[in-house]
Amino acid sequence: MIYDDFLDDDDLKTYVQSINSRAKALKKKGRVTVFSLRHRIYDSGGKCEWCTVSIVKKPFEVDHIVSLSSDGDNEEDNLAVACPNCNRIKATKHPARFAQEIYARTGIMTPLLQRILDDYDIEAAVQKSLFDTLDTDENTPTISPHDDSDDDPPPYIWGK
């Protein structure tokens, strides 16, 4: 489906039928309606709720935050509007794990990421690059070059 200010009712009905058929086949509770799907889509503000990339006039997908195959339900509060890239990468990953991955990649805390991290009571953290300046307290290792008096390239030694 393409994001637009005026979503076609027939396209929405087709999408809803697809979502509900899959959920029914997996014996999951909940039923998405055209109204709830339209609300969910417009509530995204034209951005992927995972990574914030604009989906205006572009294809988007509706993602089950907790995938149906991972015991998620088929209710509006388990749906997120996603760019195709995020939806493919997430697949059936645990939403908290994917939220941490997205935050680490983008550094942007979206309302969806915050909600998921709060629900699972975990914090998002961005791993520092190996080449970032490290803290210099006595418990933190620093990288120091070895004496390069011989012709071999100097190895790196972890030290204080």
The answer to whether residue 48 is domain-embedded is yes
The answer to whether residue 23 is domain-embedded is yes
pTM: 0.75
The answer to whether residue 106 is domain-embedded is no
Exposure letters 18-35 (e unless 16+ CB within 10 A, then b) = ebbeebeeeebebebebe
The answer to whether residue 113 is domain-embedded is no
pLDDT, averaged across the chain? 85
With tokens 């914090």, the residue in question is 123
The answer to whether residue 81 is domain-embedded is yes
The answer to whether residue 107 is domain-embedded is no
The answer to whether residue 27 is domain-embedded is yes
Tokens linked to 88? 């493919």
Residue 129: what pLDDT?
Answer: 55
Domain that residue 74 falls in: 9-92
β pairing state of 79-82 and 61-64 = antiparallel
Rounded to whole angstroms, the Cα distance separating 74 from 24 reads 9
Q: What is the DSSP letter of 92?
A: T
Q: What is the DSSP letter of 62?
A: E
Q: What is the DSSP letter of 120?
A: T
Overall domain count for the chain: 1
Q: Which helix (H) or strand (E) holds 63?
A: strand 61-64
The answer to whether residue 120 is domain-embedded is no
Percent of the chain with pLDDT over 90: 69
Rounded to whole angstroms, the Cα distance separating 60 from 7 reads 12
Contact 72/66 with Cβ under 8 angstroms?
Answer: yes
Rounded to whole angstroms, the Cα distance separating 18 from 27 reads 14
CATH code of 40's domain: 1.10.30
- Residue 61 confidence (pLDDT) above 70: yes
Among the ranges given (14-18, 66-70, 127-131, 145-149), the one the predictor scored with the smallest mean pLDDT: 145-149
